[in-house]
Chains A and B, each alone.
Chain A
Amino acid sequence: MKKFAIKNIKIALIGAALVGFTSSCEVTDLVPADLIPDSEAFTTAPRIESAVLGVYESAQRGFYNDVVQRGYPFGSANVEQGDLRGEDMYNDQAFYEITYNNSYSPNSANNRGMWISLYRMINRLNIILGNLDVALTNGVLTTDEANGYKGEMLFLRALAHHELLIHFARPYSDDPSSMGVPYRTFGIDDVAKVPEGEAVSRGTVGEDYAQLILDLDAAEGFLPEGDAGRANKGAAIALKSRIKLHMEDWAGVLAEYTKLTTKYAVTDNPVTPFRGGTSTDNIFSFINSATSNPGTNGALPAMYGNPDLGARGLVKISPIIWRADFWDAEDTRRTQLTTRSALGIFTDKYTDATTFSDPNPILRYVEVVLNAAEANARLGGAKTAVAVTLLNSVRSRALPASVPAYTVAGLGANLLTSILNERRIEFLAEGRRWADIHRLSGEGLMDGIPLKASSRSITSIDFYTTSKVILTAHSLPYSSDLFVWPIPLSELQSNITAPIAQNPGY
């Protein structure tokens, strides 16, 4: 009996082993559930649309300190870094201290985050650009669809490279032959493409700007009109007007402006573009949502908002601009777009302090108008009157009728300054200040970063509402090496075949 049992068990074991053997072979033949292989990524039109949406995602949620957080590059960080390099927004906390007091180094997280997340976005879009023609050939996309995507990618490529240029390179307005940034025009999705990628040099600022214009001209040709949530023809034109301003191509700025006058309009109420992001003024914005945003440590409503309204409030409006004589006390951008607490005054452009869904406005028509105003003013002569009219179209809409509009005669030699001041008011808390300091310092109209309110010295509303002395510090002359950010150390170290040059002084 016993023996019989043993035999049975033996047979059962052997049988089980055989069954198991055949089925268990499968354990190594697995594929990841969360990764679509390269070969299948561009095989259907919906997947290509998904890949394109993935580029927007990378623009809005990039890496900061090796983690997706804080809205690098365009979820919010472009605004925060752009503002805090300037004097009009004030750093109330340690968060933006390094940017605010110019103590960055090749290792500091903000400039690294910007560099890494912008190039990550660029590679994503270049990979798509490299696959669109194949998809077209294979009949996955129609020509219109493929062109539309090409236009989007080229627009975003220019936007990203321009952001790199204003932080990591000297201004075009100073010397176009100075060192640029690597301009990437092909995607790297294969080990074999790495050396070719490493070989792309910094080139010159002039070459980079030429490529920006090439990309944007092409994008303009490809792109359809569209709303502000996706790249569109108007966005490509508006970005060109900005870039041509940096290039001091005044006629070019006007040419781009002309293309948009019938499509967009400055809103009567300055608040409107920030409530929903679909006004006639909104040309292009990156959309944040409750499920996809820079989070409490990066989102504009959290960082810039008033703590009394549930925000974190790490950044206030600086009393420097608040008390500037050029900002009229009755300006609706003062009365309706700010809030105050006992500690100071905060912007109210971004309001969703709970789910951080405010879009980040990148291009507004009002910028194109002020670009055109400046270009006209620069050209002078007969254009001066046009410049004043355009300036008034922005300024007077925010002022009561009791405040007279500017006149050519009244402004006289102050026209350009008034336009530049208007930009400071209009784009306050939108991150545009640094770009202006960059280009204006390059041409000698400014000497680098002006004095700012001393970090963490503005401890009460009195600094805004009384004549209490504002302590100042943190200025930086244009000649300082710190005027441009350092290239991250990891960039220099990991490029074996053709390391790019570090900016001087780091």
Chain B
Amino acid sequence: MQLHGLLDALPLWALFVATFAIAWLSFEGGFLIGKRRSRKSEREREVVGGGLVEGMMGLAAFMLAFTFGAAATHFDARRQAVLDEAKAIRTAYMRADLLPEPYRAEIRNLLREYVDVRLESVRSGKIEEAIARSEELQNRLWLQATTSSEKASNPAFAEQFIQPLNEIIALHTRHVIVGLEFRIPNIIWIVLYVITALASASIGYHSGLTGSRRPLVAMAVILAFSTVIFLIEDLDRPKGGFLKISNRALADLQMKMNAQIR
């Protein structure tokens, strides 16, 4: 997990510059080697043109595309987690009506605080604290629910509340795990970088061999690769970057809850 810490600590633009620099240096290195080889061997350039470089570029492009797909899936899972959570909290909040006082009021206060904690953590970025506080609130909610179920006039009503509460607790775990653990693994990052560097080096090698240096085209290829890696990194980050998870569902819920008190 150290690599994730390192990657997350760097700002995104610095990662982009680093990726671009790695690819560009590989290209230049390949170019120098190719140029030196071209004096000795004339026919090699036909071989290199005959599929080797294309094959490598193709594989690198595919690997990037599929990793992009995986990162986008994880991003969607995080977004879904927020939506599902808001839905479960809303249901529990409404069903608290079925419980007798004083549990009803107490549970509603706890749920209100639960939503506040979540939205507050997004603003302040103190995730660990918010997780601990949420779990404490869950314990208190559960205690309220079980005691109220003994006193409820009809246990079926209590069960109606317990069900969404179980869901809230399960969705919290999902949210935490999806946010912190469903990332692109380190080893895939390493392989992606090595493949990109090797592919850029072979483009450089090829143009060194043929002696035709087209920096503009090479620049375009390298820029495209670095941009895609940048996008994958952005999608993969749980917080921040240009692609943020919207908390609109939770904010709406907060507004509705607060409107009801007044």
Q: Do A and B bind each other?
A: no
Instruction: List residues of B whose CB falls within 8 A of some A CB.
Output: none
Residues of A within 8 A of B (CB): none
